[in-house]
Chain A
Amino acid sequence: MNKYMIYLNTKRCIGCHGCEIHCKANKKLPFGAILCEIDHEPLVSIKGVPKTEFSFRSCYQCDDPYCASICPTQAISKREDGIVLVDEEKCIGCMACAGACPWGVPQLNQEKNKMVKCDFCVDRVDIGLKPVCVTKCTTQALRFVTLTRF
């Protein structure tokens, strides 16, 4: 079972797209690749105020990742704590994973010709820090949640 998830408090989110850039800047990603996305529904008027709900999507770190099973070089693996990781050494940049993932999450890093995807900032998580998007969210709307089994 996955140990972590990223939760968006949509009441606090202001759709500023900061998280997207925090992530890109941290991973030094070139033009094109984007690992998380903020989106919202079309506005509807509720009690005279046009409103919408924001959504945050990175990688679902699936239980049985489609991206991993299709990868011809077995570059994608799932850790004990649920985080789905790509091994850049093994990745050949074929991007079969992007086609297999229902949400098109895997991105091509054009500079390296390697796949890149959200890894919950595993390097930070492993030293007790929170993912970048969570740490730097403009309004502290994102939370990194450790799931507990009941």
Chain B
Amino acid sequence: MKKNVYSMCGMCTVRCPIRVEVEDNEVVWLEGNPYLLGGALCAKGSAGTALVKDDERPQQPLIREGGRGAGRWRKASWSEAFDYVTEKLKKIKQEYGPESLVVSSRGGPWQGMYKTFCHAFGSPNYTNHDSTCGRNTHHASLSVNGVGRKGFVYDIKNSKHLVLFGRNMFASLRIAENLQTMDMLQKGGRLTYVDVRQTMTGLKATRFFQVRPGTDYALTLSFIHEIVKRQLYDNVFIEKYVTDFEQLCTFIEEYTPAWAAKECGVKEKSILAFIDEVAEDMPQVIFHPGWMLSRYKDSFYASRALHILNVLMGNIEIKGGLIMPKGPGDCGKPGIRNFDCPKPDIKRADGVGWKYKHFDKGPGLQHLFFDAMRTGKPYPVKAWIAMRHDPFTAMPDPQAQKLAFDNCDLLVSIDTHYSEFGWYCDVILPESMYLERDNPVCVQKGPKPRLAVRRKAVEPVYDTRPGWEIFKELADRLDLQDYFPHSTIEDIWAWQLEPTGLTIDDFQEKGFVELTDEVIMYDRDSLDGKIKTPSGKIEIISSKLTDAGLESLKPYISPPKPPKGQFRLVFGRSAVHTHGHTINNILLYELMPENTLWINTRVASKLNVKEGEIVDVIAADGFKQRIKAHVTDFIHPECVFTVHGFGRQVPLQSRAYHAGMSDQKLMVGMLDNWDRAGGGMNLCESFVTVRRSARNPKRRVEL
């Protein structure tokens, strides 16, 4: 009998809604949820079927036998592995205190569970991967609007003009958003794209600025300059909701389009023509404030400028603009219950909240734990549980990370696949892949909020467990069962849904439950209370930044040109892989088995490198990797680009093993290179040397 299962994709963290058909415990059909996506799915989404059968993922708990990273594992039963981990945790707690544990995850709708575990254990040190992703954007939004980066959703479909700074949305896919953008373009809307290279997103653009790497902030400043000069801004909105607008006007005076054109390497008349378009299209112009902006030293300020541009448009809480997401409360409905435990009243080891007061205390900043590991200050960090998180892929310089992690007595990886970090850990607890597991119910906020849930489609192929069960079992053995009292997922769902009057059966029909029939919009004339800055207004000069001794309107500093013979190393996504997660997936591997190094045609010819030839890419300390060159006119000559996630070194992943090159391994010494104002890492501030490799043989002698 065919079974119909509505669930959520898990091939990337967008978690698109899906519909799965199952027959005899086999996935026979998988598509985007017809009610929400009309069937649409990406390549990765379909390749989930190959992950079910993939025997190159961990098949039972593993406990390390040899040295860290040596790859000698003992297969263990679950109870043995749980006992091993919890005995170690108890010992560490006794010796160093509960705060010596860090729990990290990628983030996402279920992080409440991981956080609860961490807090219940007695540690305030829950963290996620965001300091290598959206922290700069998040803090920029908080400083301007008082709400984080998820404090707005972008009504792209109804906008007239979408402006993207390096947000390569047709490679970093979010299908619902992609469909919206396509619909907008098909209706004659505009797309302006800014990047150091041409991308799939740029191909769809109506205007393209190829900028010198690291000059995004300059371009945003010139946009503000011209909009202010032409008085295009929404004065009514600004008078009502914005403070310190005058200071912005003074600050912006020197940043003319002519200046920016020179700085960014674009044409002044293009900037002016762009502003003409903005004048036609406003207020339905969305300046996307960035997603992954852990890039340049001033990315935080570039993101702030983008937020300010939205404010000037007056596009907040309008159709075709930035809409504040609504939750159950806005629909007059009770919310669901979630795992929770108050944060222990102990200073965080990463310094967030006491040393660094202007950052969001939620997940803190992951990279700042390395210092605590190395120095034992403010106190030792001795255990790390990484939930679906791979610091060695996400963060720069894994070699330096290893030296820090070596101060830990316990490293645990909970993941569906072998992560690079997992391979270095003491214990791997294999999570069932997303088609094999249930997850708790989650709220999806938005103009039309809903509840959604991931449901198991097939029984696990190997001896793996769902995440909720792993945390529950660990909690039981640590006497924390009060925080994880439920022994089945059905119990969890029932407890979560009880206040709402819904049951899990209500998700059967469509995979989600809508909390409202109509889009909910706040009254734009009384947004008071919705802007959560200290002053309750949109702050051009952020009092939080001022208190932290930081500028709100930071004068522009031109980024250094790379030294002769060197290039700025820039990385990004492809539509067919999710960072390091999917490189070993046989269907996706077939599409893209390795990455290449994009290099400008002119530069390549000077280096005597032709398309497809092998180049050596050399880091600051001489560490070297090899990769095939992709020679193209459509990348700025100051930088080279590669797709992130490759160059993996887990021998059991036979396809991904040493396929292509890893950008983060070339970022030697970059672990401490982060932005004191935005909190994000500066991942595009490293330089590499590129040369033609000796691996392009001229002759080959056989025998």
A binding-site residues for B, Cβ under 8 Å: 11-12, 14-18, 20-22, 24-26, 31-32, 34, 43, 48-52, 135-141
Contact = CB atoms under 8 A, between A and B. Distances in A.
Given A21-B591, A50-B208, A14 B43 contact: no
Contacts of A139: 40, 178-179, 182
A16 B42 contact: yes
B151 to A, nearest CB: 27
4 tightest Cβ-Cβ pairs between the two chains A and B:
A16-B575, A21-B43, A14-B170, A25-B46
Interface residues of B, number: 46
Given A16-B575, A24-B587, A50 B202 contact: yes
Contacts, number: 108
A25 B50 contact: yes
B106 interface: no
28 contacts: A12-B186, A14-B201, A14-B203, A15-B575, A16-B42, A16-B43, A16-B173, A16-B200, A16-B575, A17-B575, A18-B45, A21-B46, A21-B576, A24-B46, A24-B587, A25-B587, A31-B590, A43-B198, A49-B206, A50-B198, A50-B202, A51-B203, A135-B31, A135-B39, A136-B40, A136-B41, A138-B41, A138-B43
A15 B168 CA distance: 13
A136 B32 CA distance: 7
Given A16-B576, A49-B205, A50-B198, A25 B185 contact: no
Interface in B26-81: 29-32, 38-47, 49-50
A22 B32 CA distance: 11
Q: What's the dominant secondary structure at chain A's contact region?
A: loop
A140 B179 CA distance: 8
B219 to A, nearest CB: 15
Given A136-B32, A138-B175, A20 B575 contact: no
Given A12-B182, A135-B31, A138-B173, A18 B43 contact: yes
B585 to A, nearest CB: 10
A84 to B, nearest CB: 24
Given A50-B203, A140-B182, A22 B270 contact: no
Interface of B: 29-32, 38-47, 49-50, 170-171, 173, 175, 178-179, 182, 185-186, 198, 200-208, 270, 575-576, 586-588, 590-591, 632-634
A20 B47 CA distance: 10
B202 A21 contact: no
A35 B515 CA distance: 42
Given A21-B43, A25-B50, 12 more contacts: A12-B186, A14-B170, A16-B173, A16-B576, A18-B42, A21-B591, A22-B43, A22-B46, A43-B198, A48-B208, A49-B202, A49-B206
Nearest to B273: A48
Nearest to B50: A25
B42 A138 contact: yes
A25 B47 contact: yes
Contact of B40 (A20, A21, A140): A140
A21 B186 contact: no
A24 B586 CA distance: 11
Contacts of B29: 26
A17 B179 contact: no
Given A25-B47, A139-B178, A50 B40 contact: no
B163 to A, nearest CB: 14
Nearest to B193: A49
A110 to B, nearest CB: 13
A18 B588 CA distance: 10
B590 A14 contact: no
Contact of A17 (B38, B270, B591, B634): B591
Which of B201, B203, B204 has most chain A Cβ within 10 Å?
Answer: B203
B589 to A, nearest CB: 8
